[in-house]
Amino acid sequence: MSDEPTERENIKSEDPSQRKYASIQLVAFEINTMPHGAETTTDNTDDYYIGLEDATLDIKKRIELVKDVLAKAITIRTLDPDALKLFMMPEFFFRGKNGMSSRATDITQFDPVLNI
């Protein structure tokens, strides 16, 4: 077990000299993930998610987009250098044309996102 403080302790410490971060800064990626056609509330037969037919390629393209967004986000001048950055994105961002649960997805496809 390490004597180093955890991330939570770094943020919560009463002693500012013991904090790794002075604050938390939220960085949001805003993109519409609603199904196309959802604006017609009386007819849901025209609703569909936008994406590539090839689910593997679709995920790869979405991962590339996240990488691009993160690369741009770190250049934002208003980012506080002493703040822990919390990147937020829509919960359905990785839902492809056929939805996430429509096929068995190899979770290792998401390794590039985890290694950013």
Average pLDDT in the 22-51 region? 76
> Quick check: helix, strand or coil at residue 48?
strand
Q: Which tens digits make up the pLDDT trace of 41-87?
A: 676 666 777 788 887 888 888 889 988 998 888 888 787 888 888 88
The domain segmentation of the chain, as residue ranges, is: 7-114
User: Which position has the higher pLDDT, 103 or 85?
Assistant: 85
**Tokens representing 34?**
């609603």
Diameter over CA atoms, the chain = 59
pTM reported for the whole predicted model: 0.63
Alpha-carbon torsion (30, 31, 37, 43), positive or negative:
negative
Quote the CA–CA distance of 19 and 10 in Å, as a whole number: 4
